[in-house]
Amino acid sequence: MGLENLALAETGNFPIRHEGNVHNGKVRSVYWLNDEDSKRLNDKKYGIPNTSLGVMIISDRISAFDCNWQGEQGLKGVPGKGTSLNAISQYWFNQFYQKGLTENHILDTPHPLVWIVKKANPILVEAIGRQYITGSMLRDYKKGVRNFCGIKLPDGLRDNQRLPELLITPTTKGILRGIPGIPEKDDVNITREQIRANYSAFGFNSLEDVELYERLLREGFELISQKLKLVGKIFVDTKFEFGYVNDINGNAKMIYIDEVGTPDSSRMWEAESYKQGKIIENSKEGFRQFLLKNLDREILLNSDRMDDRKQLAKNYYVPVDQILGVSKVYKEMAEKIVSASFPKIRDAKAEILDSLNSYGVIE
């Protein structure tokens, strides 16, 4: 018996009236509304003039090494993953706002898998914060690399050691062209000095806003870290994304966008196990390690072999017990962070369309 109905895999084919192409990301699809629908919803619900709106639907797809992976028995994703990610992100976004950091792009949540969002002008920097030396940084460190995004690390660091301070190690978001010293490819490591020297090319409105994004990253990281400590978790590293929207007076304001503090975009460890010298992952990193253990590491870690990697993901079927194990991690993390359980999604597409009926955007 197939398990294909347990996870929502396809999110780019909903009959939602939109303008331009549907933006299909690794795990989310965004339907940007036309000006008429945006204005109508703003007048009726949100009160934000001259702001484009979108319907963002999250899937249960699981992406690792820039590929989406499928399971056995028709599983195209991880059951409960999308609901968990949306709930966690929205919780952190709300915490940031309550603590006076800044706003985010979410306006409304018609369904656990759906957000109504403001369209932002994205800053073209993946804002990465690292509190421990692990993952790709540790692999490079063991090869003798000591300079990471312009930050020099000392010799003698141990595997998975806590760093003396939070390191910001940004990369490019998308392919940027014409910036001195920046290769024209995605996910290039960049330095703070390069961003400051070319802040406009990276999408910042001012030099001061480079410092603002760093402050929002540090304060957001610390808030999540302290909250996770209360439930026995360690916040290891994460990725933030930022963009600009206009406030009610028409002035540009930097906000958090995408997602934040989830098992997809962050590493989280069990605190008690770490004290005993063991690493127990509470994030997608556990799935990544499973792939590295069972498939060709050279293909998975070599970005020059993307064609081989995509073929590998197309032909490989992840065992059901592994997929359900990942599902358990996501659901448990969501329940611990948000302190709530979540309804089971039985017919995702029908439920989502029903939830959007009152918004007047279904074709």
Tokens standing for 104? Answer: 């985010």
pLDDT along the chain (363 residues), means of 10: 82 97 95 97 92 97 96 94 97 98 97 97 97 96 97 97 97 94 92 97 97 98 98 98 90 96 97 97 95 97 94 97 96 94 88 97 95
Non-local (6+) Cβ contacts of 338 within 8 A are 87, 88, 91
> pLDDT at position 271, please?
98
* Contact of 161 with 173, CB cutoff 8 Å: no
Domains in the chain (CATH in brackets) are 9-120+320-351 (3.30.200.20), 123-286 (3.30.470.20)
Non-local (6+) Cβ contacts of 52 within 8 A are 32, 33, 35, 38, 118, 119
What is d(CA 77, CA 27) in angstroms, rounded to the nearest whole number?
Answer: 10
pTM listed for this prediction: 0.95
Q: 246-261: buried (b, 16+ CB within 10 Å) or exposed (e) per residue? A: beeeeeeebbbbbbbb
Single-letter code of the amino acid located at 153? L
Non-local (6+) Cβ contacts of 265 within 8 A are 238, 239, 258, 259
> pLDDT at position 2, please?
61
Cα 81–Cα 83–Cα 88 angle in degrees, nearest 5: 95
Task: Return the SS3 of 175.
Answer: coil
Single-letter code of the amino acid located at 212? L
**Burial of 180 (C-beta count, 10 Å sphere; 0-12/13-18/19+):** exposed
> pLDDT at position 1, please?
45
Q: 84-105: buried (b, 16+ CB within 10 Å) or exposed (e) per residue? A: bbbbbbbbbbebbeeeebbebb
> pLDDT at position 342, please?
79
* Contact of 131 with 233, CB cutoff 8 Å: no
